[in-house]
Amino acid sequence: MEITRQHILQWLREDDPRRLAELWQQADQVRRDSVGDQVHLRGLVEFSNHCVRSCGYCGLRLGNEVIARYRMTADGILASAHQAVRFGYGTLVLQSGEDEETSTRWMASVVRRVKSETPLAVTLSLGERGRDDLACWREAGADRYLLRFETSNRELFDKIHPSLPGRHSDRIAILHQLRELGYEVGSGVMIGIPGQTYDDLANDIELFRQLRLDMIGVGPYLPHPATPLGQFGDRLAAPPGEQVPNSEEMTYKVVALARLVCPKANIPSTTALATVNKEEGRELGLQRGANVVMPNLTPLEYRRLYEIYPSKACIQERAEDCHHCLSHRIAAIGREVGSGRGDSASHRHRSTPADPG
């Protein structure tokens, strides 16, 4: 039976460790039954930290003049793609700030090169882009797109995402466009944004279900001192008892509930989770609903410049280090490294209605 909104809310407010153990167990079981024991590896290349936006929480925001900006070359990205193949990854995730210098054509040519030179699935995570761009990149061979809606509370969204002149954000509309274009669609939220209430978070999880997401990424909100929210976030907090904490435990709850509402989704145990618990955050995420990890392939010289939040995990590790670290962690909890591209089981089902499987 499908979990109701009321139950979602109850779990979000639950703090008895024995009851929570039931939630972890249930999510782990649904994960095993729906997507199996394989943990898929998605190599992440953070290829540009330029950004035209001023999101209240993000260290890459336009106004942050403290960080040096970089943009990798197409050849640099391709070198990382080949490294992903050598490590046995099935997917390359190309992520950047919302960089208007990333032209439609340039990005399409990078996608085309990756698709012709490697067997990798390509996931794009480039922020809010127009339908023509998304269509062109899909045409070029991009398989998946990640765009977190961050919060389903429109008022809160608008507070922390100032609009660009003449352009009002509508990420839900973009997620629908991505679906129409045949992408596997990923979204997600931050947990514990100042002003985010339990009701909001329950609505977010309900929206995961409504959107029938192929991929769901969630992580704790981590205050960045060079951002308005990092400096003045306390003033935005919801009343005590209503404000969602940005805690490790709350993050596991959302991972677990995401698994229950979208059993077949690919759900990463995120870097933000590894940041709040460097010892075992990744593992606990994988044992409470997640089935994906995203080893960082960004060349070391750029890593520390992609500082969306402080003390980010893996900031000094080379691609080889993350590769070995994660392979080891996956084996240590009795799971296997995924083979193949790790496509979305729900997407396959939807896009081939005649398929008896």
Residues in contact with ligand FES by CB under 6 A are 295-296, 314, 317, 321-322, 325-326
Q: With CB under 6 A as the contact rule, which of the stretches 76-84, 134-142, 154-162, 217-225 interacts with ligand 5AD?
A: 217-225
| Residue 314: contacted member of ligand FES, ligand 5AD, none (CB under 5 to 8 Å, by partner type) | ligand FES
Choose between 70 and 113: whose C-beta lies nearer to ligand 5AD.
70
Choose between 135 and 226: whose C-beta lies nearer to ligand 5AD.
226
State how far the Cα of 95 lies from the Cα of 118, in Å rounded to an integer.
18
**Contact between 224 and ligand 5AD per CB under 6 A:** yes
Choose between 112 and 318: whose C-beta lies nearer to ligand FES.
318
Distance of CA 155 to the CA centre of its chain: 22
Whether 338 and 42 have beta carbons less than 8 Å apart is answered as no
Whether 306 and 49 have beta carbons less than 8 Å apart is answered as yes
Choose between 141 and 223: whose C-beta lies nearer to ligand 5AD.
223
Alpha helices in the chain (DSSP H): 5-13, 17-35, 74-86, 104-117, 131-139, 154-160, 171-180, 198-211, 228-232, 248-261, 271-276, 281-287, 300-303, 319-332, 345-351
Minimum gap (Å) between residue 82 Cβ and ligand FES: 19
Residue 323, φ and ψ in degrees, nearest 5: -60, -50
| Residue 317: contacted member of ligand FES, ligand 5AD, none (CB under 5 to 8 Å, by partner type) | ligand FES
Choose between 26 and 214: whose C-beta lies nearer to ligand 5AD.
214
| Residue 205: contacted member of ligand 5AD, ligand FES, none (CB under 5 to 8 Å, by partner type) | none
Quick one: which H or E segment has residue 90? none
State how far the Cα of 308 lies from the Cα of 305, in Å rounded to an integer.
9
- Locate tokens 């960045």: which residue? 224
Residue of 46, 99, 150, 204 that binds ligand 5AD (CB under 6 A):
150
State how far the Cα of 98 lies from the Cα of 60, in Å rounded to an integer.
9
Eight-class DSSP state of 230: H
| Residue 322: contacted member of ligand FES, ligand 5AD, none (CB under 5 to 8 Å, by partner type) | ligand FES
Minimum gap (Å) between residue 321 Cβ and ligand FES: 5
Choose between 195 and 217: whose C-beta lies nearer to ligand FES.
217
Minimum gap (Å) between residue 72 Cβ and ligand FES: 19
Whether 196 and 226 have beta carbons less than 8 Å apart is answered as no
**Contact between 219 and ligand 5AD per CB under 6 A:** yes
Residue of 174, 308, 314, 319 that binds ligand 5AD (CB under 6 A):
308
**What is Dmax (Cα atoms) for the chain?**
55
| Residue 200: contacted member of ligand FES, ligand 5AD, none (CB under 5 to 8 Å, by partner type) | none
Minimum gap (Å) between residue 129 Cβ and ligand 5AD: 14
State how far the Cα of 310 lies from the Cα of 224, in Å rounded to an integer.
6
Q: Two tokens at 312?
A: 């980010």
**Contact between 45 and ligand 5AD per CB under 6 A:** no
